[in-house]
């Protein structure tokens, strides 16, 4: 299998953390190609991984539109490798906007997709909930959400989850929601028939009521960041409350391993990165603050999804909308 290209220069702690994550993924059996400044990468890698040189990179503080005139930046070079079929996928922990712009510019959109979307995975009581759009499109039209649903169902299936798609709203009944939801509901019903669950509410994301949830990128991004923030703050409070009083402190020592395992389950960095669905190639985008474990997870996930035929599934699912 061809390697997964990692934008080794992308992220707050690049290239140290990206290289470390790549080495871990490599040990776990994922073929990785580092893309970035060879002079900086070579001493970190010490021959353990192949490097594709890219002299430039887009800093986290630059503007996303920079990519158009920065053809030798690591993210643009990585996308070109994917476009030419030399790698199977691109993973970047760098500038989210720049990565999306580079993907769109170099790879283009899947036929039938108006707007690519970011997919977010949440742990749920029933397993996992796949939500999109996680923030690629702040304002959406109803047709975008129908395409998000098709791509989300395809991604879920490639991840081994068959399920239904729900429309995020503020009431279960048809007729509850904002203007976008009211217009989207009948379109989803027509396109997906009994695979459309109907409206779901905020709480259903963690309950796992529908496996795939679609919403506009504004709401989706607020949801993503709220869920992360709440988990962090709650676990911080738990830690605090287990260090107050002798009994709680003794108990705290005993339950620490169990709570740590649980936090790893809900911690967003265990998911590594979000796929950008709807561009002509497999692209995963992670947090700029990603640690080596997140980089490794992202590479493993990209590898697994490529093997599961993600792109063909997405194309087929979108095509089925137009039959």
Q: Which residues are at the interface with its own copies (CB under 8 A)? A: 124-125, 135, 138-139, 168-170, 177-179, 181, 201-207, 215-219, 221-234, 236-238, 241-242, 244-245, 247-248, 250-255, 257-259, 261-262, 265-266
Phi/psi of residue 92, each to 5°?
A: -140, 135
Least distance from its own copies to the Cβ atom of residue 52, Å: 31
Least distance from its own copies to the Cβ atom of residue 229, Å: 3
Nearer to its own copies, 38 or 267 (CB): 267
DSSP line for 173-186: STT-S-HHHHHHHH
Least distance from its own copies to the Cβ atom of residue 11, Å: 18
Nearer to its own copies, 105 or 263 (CB): 263
Least distance from its own copies to the Cβ atom of residue 20, Å: 26
Closest to 130 measured CA to CA, from 150, 112, 156:
156
Spacing of C-alpha 196 from chain mean position: 23
Least distance from its own copies to the Cβ atom of residue 268, Å: 11
Which letter does DSSP use for residue 30 in this model?
-
Nearer to its own copies, 236 or 309 (CB): 236
Buried b (16+ CB within 10 A) or exposed e, 277-287: bbbbbbbbbbb
Nearer to its own copies, 16 or 178 (CB): 178
Least distance from its own copies to the Cβ atom of residue 230, Å: 5
Question: 217-241 and 246-266 helices cross at what angle (nearest 10)?
Answer: 160
Nearer to its own copies, 23 or 227 (CB): 227
Nearer to its own copies, 72 or 139 (CB): 139
Nearer to its own copies, 19 or 168 (CB): 168
d(CA 133, CA 276): 9
Helix/strand/coil (H/E/C) assignment for every residue in 132-173:
ECCCCCCCCCHHHHHHHHHHHHHHHHHCCCCCCEEEECCCCC
Residues with Cβ < 8 Å from 212, sequence gap 6 or more? 129, 130, 131, 132, 149, 152, 153, 156, 163, 164, 165, 166
Nearer to its own copies, 173 or 194 (CB): 173
Which letter does DSSP use for residue 31 in this model?
-
Structure tokens at 174: 């048809």
Least distance from its own copies to the Cβ atom of residue 151, Å: 20
Least distance from its own copies to the Cβ atom of residue 99, Å: 15
């Amino acid at each position: 299998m061809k390697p997964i290209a990692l934008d080794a220069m992308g992220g707050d702690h690049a290239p140290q953390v990206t290289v470390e994550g790549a080495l871990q993924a490599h040990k776990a059996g994922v073929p990785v190609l580092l893309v970035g400044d060879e002079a900086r990468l070579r001493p970190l890698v010490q021959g353990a991984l192949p490097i594709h040189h890219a002299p430039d990179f887009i800093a986290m503080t630059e503007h996303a539109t920079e990519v158009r005139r920065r053809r030798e930046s690591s993210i643009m070079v990585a996308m070109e490798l994917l476009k030419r079929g030399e790698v199977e996928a691109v993973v970047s922990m760098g500038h989210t906007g720049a990565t999306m712009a580079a993907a769109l510019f170099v790879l283009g959109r899947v036929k039938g997709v108006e707007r690519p979307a970011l997919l977010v995975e949440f742990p749920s009581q029933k397993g996992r909930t796949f939500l999109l759009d996680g923030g690629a499109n702040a304002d959406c039209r109803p047709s975008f959400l129908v395409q998000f649903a098709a791509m989300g169902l395809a991604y879920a299936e490639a991840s081994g989850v068959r399920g239904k798609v729900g429309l995020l709203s503020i009431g279960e009944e048809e007729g509850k929601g904002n203007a976008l939801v009211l217009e989207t509901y009948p379109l989803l019903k027509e396109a997906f028939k009994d695979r459309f669950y109907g409206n779901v509410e905020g709480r259903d994301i963690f309950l796992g009521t529908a496996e795939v949830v679609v919403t506009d990128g504004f709401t989706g991004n607020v949801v993503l960041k709220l869920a992360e923030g709440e988990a962090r703050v709650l676990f911080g409070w738990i830690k605090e409350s287990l260090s107050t009083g002798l009994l709680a402190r003794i108990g705290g020592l005993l339950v620490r391993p169990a709570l740590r395992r649980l936090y790893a389950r809900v911690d967003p960095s265990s998911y590594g990165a979000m796929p950008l669905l709807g561009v002509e190639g497999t692209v995963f985008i992670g947090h700029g603050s990603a640690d080596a474990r997140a980089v490794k997870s992202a590479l493993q996930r990209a590898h697994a999804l490529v093997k599961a035929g993600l792109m063909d599934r997405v194309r087929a699912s979108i095509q089925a909308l137009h039959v």
